[in-house]
Structure 1
Amino acid sequence: MSGTSLDGIDVALLRTDGEGLVERGRSRTFPYDEGQRELLRRALTAAIAVTDRRDRRGILGEAEAALTHWHGEAVKSFCRAIDLSLAEVNIVGFHGQTMIHRPERRLTVQLGDGQELADMLRVPVAYDLRAADVAAGGQGAPLVPVYHRALAENLPKPIAFINIGGVANVTWVGRSGELVAFDTGPGNALIDDWMKAHTGKARDENGAMARRGRVDEATVAQFLGDSFFEKPGPKSLDRNSFAGISLEGLPLADGAATLVAVTARSIAASVVHMPEPPESWIVCGGGRHNAAIMDALTTWLPNVMPAEACGLNGDSMEAEAWAYLAVRSLRELPLTFPGTTGVEEAITGGVIAPPRAPRI
């Protein structure tokens, strides 16, 4: 899994049938260096003009080849570290890197060559898991809710999982396993971009800058006044959906604090689109490492806790989910549902790439 925050590649091992059996194994993050991030940023800029999801001209093709290679090396390194032979792996779930996500145009592009990765690892790879849903009129996101439901099997419900990556999203799991899911608003992306533009650093480490700042309430109101927040789910966002709102004139710390407030309050506001309030809110994704975000969430919501408080791993959860989805894709089980992406009926998805050379 490589998310919109551009932090790095998360690899996780899972033993599952894609349904109720979930045995979580080891996991590891392979952080991107600044050169890798810069290549992906350049590709993200170029992707703004993309109208055909197969377009890999110029920097897009360069980034896809590099990204695929990085993922292959990450998987190999992970397996060596835990003394696991790739011959023991049945399938790899490959998210790729989202370049553009415009479901209203039935367009979603994730860079990553699944066939090349399968050949590199000599293991079948499930990839391009969003495309079928978008083609069928769904939002193509979020895809993790069906895995959240599996993790919530023995937890008090209703329960909500908050994932804070570049974009934040929420999954509501009802008492009988009902699913409601949608993107809530910006996650880390705008905070990271603000810090990068003003300090050269990739993020606000632990929310230290935001905690020194004051929230500009007028700017928060401008963000939250967008019609997106009034719409019930399913709904989804591109990483740069709110990048046009100006923070001009705000000091560095105030800008960071304001963006934290936008992230937290948009998550809190999502409760109005749920059938009933959750008993607890489980936070996963990189955003839970930002103490300013966690403080803000606990101000606006009850019973907020990091995934680890439930015995889960908030860093590896999305990588685990992609392994789970890969098995569901292989078994042609549904990945998306009317309550998660707005697709008319539950559908499967993904492309299975078998390796073109036998295993060693």
Structure 2
Amino acid sequence: MAIELGLMSGTSLDGIDAVAVEFDAPSPRVLAHAHRPFDAALQAELLALNRSGPDELHRAALAANGVARAYAATAAALLAAAGLTVQAVRTIGAHGQTVRHRPREFDGTGYTVQLLNGALLAELSGIDVVCDFRSRDVAAGGEGAPLVPAFHAEIFGAPGKDVAVLNLGGIANLTLLPAAGGVAGFDCGPANALLDHWARRHLGRAYDADGAWAAGGRVDAALLAALLAEPFFARTPPKSTGRDLFNEAWLAAMPIAGVAPQDVMATLAELTARGAADALARHAPATARLVVCGGGAFNGHLMARLAALLPRARVISSAALGVPPDQVEAIAFAWLARAHRERQAGNRVAVTGARGERVLGALYPA
């Protein structure tokens, strides 16, 4: 039995999802799942490191150590809960925490930064670690994101049917799986990064549970138009984004003065839904099924808005297909770790725009 661990912490910064996965079956079989929130101080520092600040190199290095320790503790808790030994696990596939994502910019190559001390994680866990998955694609001229479409194709594709997969993490990304075959995908806008920011600011809570507060608000048409005027939405894929663009300063520069906070939340939720729906209308209008995963799949208001905006598509949570929404990306990075060990490409040229398919990640032996 070959077991891989997948460790994922996304742009939403809500914590770490860990899965133990067996890939020997026809489809991935999750043996165990664990979630652990970030320590408040580490979470605050990771959020701060999304912006320029004093002594960044020193702070980023210590934060990378902190992420490694948090990952190692989550992995240990997962193994203990599942009754698995370290020796039973072949590899940890670890995403790290994205704090900057600027592919193709500045010098033509750009960069992407996921904070994680992979060597320390290997040392602490006693398991081989594969991490830094995005950099190889960026070096090959690609966006470095999204990296999950190839995995989505394996578990969510339906022969003869136009399927799309929408991951609603901090940022929203789409995978397009046309009936004729092939894989496409791109980031389509913000999701929980802005929604959670607004919830923390006005509710004093980490998120708007089930989208209840947003559901009680009114979408402000002028604000929504201003938000949708962001050039990113009109860009032709390949494209990816992050907190470098969709952040608190971006939102503060919008015409939110005079708009009730609850109406701003309703408008941000509509922005998330419209970003995905408009992208599907433009790039995959025949979509018959939209599979939603990530934390946003638990937001009933967002799911309802997607269904209303996409009347021709069946909008479902990935849970309906047997894969819990909060496990999908962690499984994907376990899958990418396996691909690295088997020297198989993890990217897709049609998704990232890289010059070719590449084996992704860097290996830190235990």
TM-score, reference length from structure 1: 0.91
Residue aligning to 1:181: 185
- Residues 162-205 of structure 1, C-alpha deviation per residue, up to 9 Å, x if partnerless? 00001000001123540110001011111111122233322112
- Measure how far apart 1:21 and its partner are: 5.1
User: Can you list the C-alpha shifts for 1:77-106, whole angstroms capped at 9, x where unaligned?
Assistant: 110001010110000001000000011321
Out of 340, 354, 365, the residue aligned to residue 329 of structure 1 is 340
Alpha-carbon distance, 1:229 to partner = 1.6
- Tell me the equivalent position of 1:9: 16
Residue aligned with 1:10, SS = strand
Q: Which moved more, 1:86-95 or 1:23-32?
A: 23-32
After superposition, residues 1-360 of structure 1 pair within 5 angstroms as 1-16=8-23, 22-45=28-51, 48=52, 57-105=57-105, 106-153=110-157, 157-243=161-247, 244-245=250-251, 246=254, 247-275=256-284, 277-301=286-310, 302-355=313-366
Structure 2 vs 1, CA of residues 193 and 206 (structure 1 numbering), >3 Å: closer, same or farther?
same
Contact conserved, 2:27 with 2:155, CA < 8 A, in 1?
Answer: no
2:5 equivalent in structure 1? none
Corresponding residue pairs, total: 348
Q: CA deviation at 1:259?
A: 0.2
Q: CA deviation at 1:137?
A: 1.1
Q: Quick check: 1:72–1:121 contact (8 Å CA) kept in 2?
A: yes
Asked if 2 retains the 8 angstrom alpha-carbon contact of 1:232 and 1:273, the reply is: no
SS across alignment from 2:188: strand
* Cα deviation, residue 110, structure 1: 0.2
Cα distance, 1:212 vs structure 2: 1.3
Letter in 1 for 2:272: T
Q: Does the aligned pair in 2 maintain the 1:149–1:177 contact within 8 Å?
A: no
Aligned AA (1:252): P
Task: Give the letter aligned to residue 307 of structure 1.
Answer: S
CA contact (8 A) 2:146 2:352 kept: yes
The CA deviation at 1:7 is 0.8
Distance 1:180 1:216 in 2: 32
Whether the 8 Å contact between 1:233 and 1:273 is mirrored in structure 2 is: no
AA partner of residue 301 (structure 2) = A
Q: Do the aligned residues in 1 keep the contact of 2:192 with 2:296 (CA within 8 Å)?
A: yes
Per the TM alignment, residue 22 of structure 1 is displaced from its structure 2 partner at its CA by 2.8
| Matches of 2:283 and 2:134, distance apart in 1 | 24
Q: 1:329: Cα distance to partner?
A: 1.2
Measure how far apart 1:25 and its partner are.
2.7
Identity within the alignment, %: 35
User: Aligned partners of 2:351 and 2:176: how far apart in 1?
Assistant: 9
- The Cα RMSD (Å) is 2.0
> Which amino acid is 1:138 matched to?
G
Checking the alignment, whether the CA contact within 8 Å between 1:101 and 1:108 is kept in structure 2 is yes
Other-structure match for 2:4:
none
How many angstroms does 1:232 deviate by?
2.4
1-side partners of 2:286 and 2:232: how far apart? Answer: 20
CA distance in 1, matches of 2:181, 2:243: 29
Measure the CA separation in 1 of the matches of 2:163 and 2:59: 42
Deviation of the 1:269 alpha carbon: 0.6
Gaps of 5+ in 1: 356-360
Displacement of 1:242 after TM fit? 3.0
Amino acid at match of 1:354: P
* Amino acid in the other structure paired with 1:89: V
TM-score, L = length of structure 2:
0.90
- The alignment partner of 2:143 has SS state of coil
Unaligned runs of 5+ in 2: 1-7
Distance in 2 (CA, whole Å) between partners of 1:275 and 1:248 is 36
